[in-house]
Structure 1
Amino acid sequence: MTRAGSRSAGLLLALLLGACAQEGDFGRPAPSAWNSLIETTGTVAAYERGAPASAFPLTDDETVLRDRAWRFLMPADDHAAFSDALANLTRARVLPSRWRRDDIPVYHNDLIAESFRSPYSRYRRLSDDAVADGRLIPIFAAVAGRVFEADGVRLRALPFSKSLDDRDVRQAAMRVAENRCLVAWVRLETSLRIARYRYALEHFLIEMPGREAASAEQALAFLEGRRGLLDPLLPPDAAARCGLVELPVQAVLAAPVVAKY
């Protein structure tokens, strides 16, 4: 089999595995051999793309961080099985994150396409999703803080560890970058999720106005407030530095083209 054929076969296998991934409790991936294989495949794929991917074993907090990220990196809607499979492969880094489009209307479109007996159920679903997201953010932020603190210990220990070689140093640096880029990705996806919820609420108000909109607005405000807990964790440009979004044009133009001597 050619190299290209091997990659195609590998991707096909990965897609099949992604479709089998299941969600466990509290928005975390269910522990299973399939999910473990997807995670391993994702680390290898990320490394081949040049993304930070360390072979070091995960600490307990790093494992929890990845489990807690599951909810925010998977679609809020749950009706497109193929899209869910692709999203899971993206979350596990088998596929690069930037292939996904910022499809803001998708959440609204999926909810309105369902058969429902009363508009109340659409507003209630929106409120429940927003509140569930908001309740999980403080837990994620706390775990991220512990991971970053441990990363600091890791980096401070490097100059004093005489038995380390260049590979050890690279693996440590990649794990630190890997952890930070995961948090940057969750922060980015949380903002996009809020935009999708806001889009849905605004369209519900036009399509089927009702008193239930007030509760949905309160739920969105709750989520937006909790979203702020992610801001102090990383610099504002973390998503761009991790390759999750394009660098702002201003940042590109600010870089000098010719250095003056």
Structure 2
Amino acid sequence: MADHLGALLRASSFIVLAGLAAGCVARPVGDLGRAAPSFTHDTAMPVVGDFMARQRKEAVSNFNKTDQETEMHNRVWRFLVAAHAKDWFYDTAVELQRTRLTAATDLSFKVDRYYGWLKNTPYQSSRTRYNTVGSHITADIDTVPSTFAAICAVIEVDRQRAEALRALSGLDPKAASDVAARKQENDASIAWFVRALNYRYDSYSYALNNLLVETPHEQSLAVDEALRRMSGYVTRANRGDFCGGRVTSSGGGTAIIPSRFQKFGDNEIVLPK
């Protein structure tokens, strides 16, 4: 029976991959940038992906997802893709990784893609590129707190599972392995979010640096300030501080990087207007 199921899943994987190769792999996007329902992306690909993850000896839990875990995945997904910017975030590779059809590929993402997209987009005004970067950073900053809260809720769910496992008897024989596997899956999702947040920040920073050389404008000051605000969240994410802390621009709380304009030294920088 197990051999038959394995053969069926292997055949299904070839069918799914062939279908994806013939069409768009990226997850469909609905209103307000949210993922749109899709049998292929929500059911078929994850089923085959779990099978392939097991072949790679990765942890795969048989537990149903809690509401908190579903919320976290939905909020994290927004940071894994950038549908507004023509795949500068490797949307196709992200979807294959999200559904576990492939192992992690985001470790090799290059930070110059966002700047390349900005540079090649035919804006009527060069100032608009700064406004675009600023609006993207602001959208990230506005969404990070709710994503942190969702991650914190999942961390608490994992803690409660571990407590229940220790305290209760008469459990399913696979309960302990499923608890461990789900913890590893959640940890992997959280780590991916942290890498994605760093990638976005580094990509924005790379773009701003290059725009300052290519088309210097006073709008760069606002973008730089937005990046400084974002850096506080990046710092918190890198140290795993999702459940507490406060991001401030001065005083106590999480430190935020100084302005890049301070790096110019004592020379006065006069940006064209």
TM-score normalised by the shorter chain: which range applies?
A: 0.7 to 0.9
Task: State the distance in 1 between where 2:238 and 2:88 align.
Answer: 32
Task: State the distance in 1 between where 2:61 and 2:209 align.
Answer: 43
Task: State the distance in 2 between where 1:228 and 1:82 align.
Answer: 21
Query: Residues 204 and 101 (structure 1 numbering): CA distance in 2 closer, same or farther, change over 3 Å?
Result: same
Higher helix fraction: Structure 1 or Structure 2? 1
Question: Where does 1:156-195 land on structure 2 (aligned, <5 Å)?
Answer: 156-195=163-202
Match of 1:57 in 2: 64
**Are the counterparts in 1 of residues 53 and 101 from structure 2 also a CA contact under 8 Å?**
yes
Q: Percent identity?
A: 27
Task: State the distance in 2 between where 1:153 and 1:126 align.
Answer: 40
- Are 2:86 and 1:71 aligned? no
Superposition RMSD on alpha carbons, in Å? 2.9
Task: State the distance in 1 between where 2:202 and 2:237 align.
Answer: 16
Larger radius of gyration: 2
Aligned length: 235
Mind listing any 5+ residue stretches in structure 1 that lack a counterpart? 236-261
Which residue of 47, 52, 73 corresponds with 1:40? Answer: 47
Question: Secondary structure in 2 aligned to 1:233?
Answer: coil
**Are the counterparts in 2 of residues 90 and 97 from structure 1 also a CA contact under 8 Å?**
yes
Query: Residues 177 and 138 (structure 1 numbering): CA distance in 2 closer, same or farther, change over 3 Å?
Result: same
Task: State the distance in 2 between where 1:27 and 1:115 align.
Answer: 23
Task: State the distance in 1 between where 2:224 and 2:142 align.
Answer: 16
Greater RCO structure (CA 8 Å; 6+ sep): 1
Match of 1:87 in 2: 94
Task: State the distance in 2 between where 1:217 and 1:55 align.
Answer: 45
- Are 2:132 and 1:122 aligned? no
**Are the counterparts in 1 of residues 127 and 219 from structure 2 also a CA contact under 8 Å?**
yes
> Deviation at 1:118?
0.6
> Deviation at 1:95?
1.6
Task: State the distance in 1 between where 2:159 and 2:202 align.
Answer: 33
Question: Where does 1:128-139 land on structure 2 (aligned, <5 Å)?
Answer: 128-139=135-146
- Give TM-score scaled by structure 1 length: 0.79
> Deviation at 1:20?
5.8
Amino acid at match of 1:59: T
- Are 2:34 and 1:28 aligned? yes
> Deviation at 1:86?
2.5
- 1:41-68 per-residue CA deviation (whole Å, 9 max, x = no partner) reads 3333323322222121100010011111
Task: State the distance in 2 between where 1:99 and 1:6 align.
Answer: 25
Match of 2:160 in 1: 153
